[in-house]
Amino acid sequence: MSERPGSPRTGAERYLAIRRPVEIGYWVITYLLSGVGNSITTWMDVQRLGLGYASWEIASWEGSSAIALLVLVPVMVWFTGRWPVHLDNWRQRLPLYAAASVAWSMLHVGLMVGMRKLVYAWHGGTYVFGDAFVYEYLKDARTFLGIVLLLHVYRMLVRRLQGEASLLAAPDDDSAPVEPVERPSRFLVRKLGREFLVAADDIEWVQASGNYANLHVRGKVYPLRSTLTELETRLDPARFARVHRSHLVNLARIASIEPLDSGDARLHLVDGAVVPCSRRYREPLRLLMAG
C-alpha cells in the first residue's frame, strides 16, 4: 500500500505540521496556570489561617517553582528521548531514572530557591530554605514520574500518527523470506491501523533519535526501532553513506555539498532538506560521489 502524494492532508498530518508550537504552548500554559492557581489557593490558605505572609511572598514561592519546572522541560524532553523506557528495558532503566529524579529535583530546588532569594532581596528581606530538600524531593519525584509518563505516552501517540517503520519479518512457513535480513530493500510502515511498504531507495536521509532511527521519506518521518549503526550495516553502502555521527544520507538525493570554514559541510538534498556533514566524513563522501 502506498500514499498518494497529491491527496489532501488528514487531521493527523495537519497536527504533525504544527506539533512544535502546540507542544511549547502546552508546557507554557500548563505552568502558567499552575503558578497562578497555586498562588491563589495558597493565598486563601494563608488568609484562612491568619498567617502573616505578604502576597508577593506567596507569588514568589509558587511562581518560582512553576518557572523552574518550565525551564527544566527541555532537559526532560532530551533525557527521556535519549534513554527511553520500553517493556524490554524498564528494569535496566530504573536505576538511571531514580538517579535522574534526584538530580532533576536538585536542579528544580536550586533554580526556585535562587529566584526566591532574588525576590526577597529586592524587597529588603532574606529567604531561608532550610533543610527541606527531602520534603521537596518527595513532591518532585511525583512530578518527575508524571512528566516521564506524559512524554512517553505522547511520543507513542505521535509515532502512531506519523507511522512507525519496521523490517519485514520472514514468513512463518518454510518459504523464502520476503526480504533478505542482511540488506532489506523495503520497510513495513504501520500508520493508524494501515500498513504499507517504503522502498529503501525512497529514503532521503536518516537521523538518530535515541533508540530509534528516523527515516525521512517524501516529507514524512517514520521512526524505526534501531540504532543508526545497526541500520547502517543493513543499508546498501553503495547507496547510503554515514555523513555525521547522527545522520545517514541517500547519495542519490544529494543535490550539492556546501563546504564550511570549520572543515565540516552542509548537504543540500533534492527535496530542500539540509543535512550536516562532519569533517571526518567529508572526504570519504567526496570519493563516493566521485565514483
What distance in Å separates the CA atoms of residue 119 and residue 138, rounded to the nearest whole number?
25
Using alpha carbons, select from 202, 170, 164 the residue that is nearest to residue 185. Answer: 202
Least confident of 51-55, 280-284, 287-291: 287-291
The three cell numbers of residue 33 are 496556570
Grid coordinates given for 114: 535562587
Write the pLDDT tens digit of every residue in 245-277. Answer: 999 999 999 999 999 888 899 999 998 889 999
Rounded to whole angstroms, how far apart are CA atoms 99 and 93?
10
10 Å Cβ neighbour count for 101? 18
Query: What's the maximum distance between 2 C-alpha atoms anywhere in the chain?
Result: 82
pLDDT band at 107 (very low <50, low <70, confident <90, very high): very high
59-68, 167-176, 208-217, 246-255: which range is least confident on average?
167-176
Q: Residue 177 — pLDDT band, cuts 50, 70, 90?
A: very low
Q: Which helix (H) or strand (E) holds 164?
A: strand 164-167
**Is residue 178's pLDDT more than 50?**
no
CA distances from 180 to 1, 102, 214, 284 (A): 20, 46, 21, 27
The answer, as to whether pTM is greater than 0.85, is no
What pLDDT, on the 0 to 100 scale, is given for residue 21? 95
Q: What is the reported pLDDT for 8? A: 56
Q: Are 275 and 243 in contact (CB under 8 A)?
A: yes
pLDDT of 237: 87
Burial class (CB in 10 A: 0-12, 13-18, 19+), 51: exposed
Residues 6+ apart with CB under 8 A from 290: none
User: Any bridge partners for residue 198, and if so which?
Assistant: 187
pLDDT at position 238 over 90: no
- Check whether 101 has a pLDDT greater than 90: yes
User: Edge-to-edge strands of the sheet including 254-259?
Assistant: 254-259, 265-269, 274-277
Please give the mean pLDDT across all residues of the chain: 86
**In the chain, what percentage of residues exceed pLDDT 90?**
51
Residue of 236, 289, 234, 239 lying closest to 267 (CA atoms) = 289
- Predicted local confidence at residue 182, as pLDDT: 58
Instruction: Tell me what pLDDT residue 116 has.
Output: 96
Average pLDDT on 68-87 reads 92
DSSP state of 173: S
What helix, strand, coil percent values describe the chain, rounded to 5? 55, 20, 30
Supply the pLDDT for residue 169.
Answer: 53
Is the model's pLDDT at 172 over the cut of 60?
A: no
Domains of the chain plus CATH, in order, are 11-162 (no CATH), 178-290 (2.40.50.1020)
| Chain segment 5-45, per-residue pLDDT in tens | 444 566 777 887 898 999 999 999 999 999 999 999 999 99
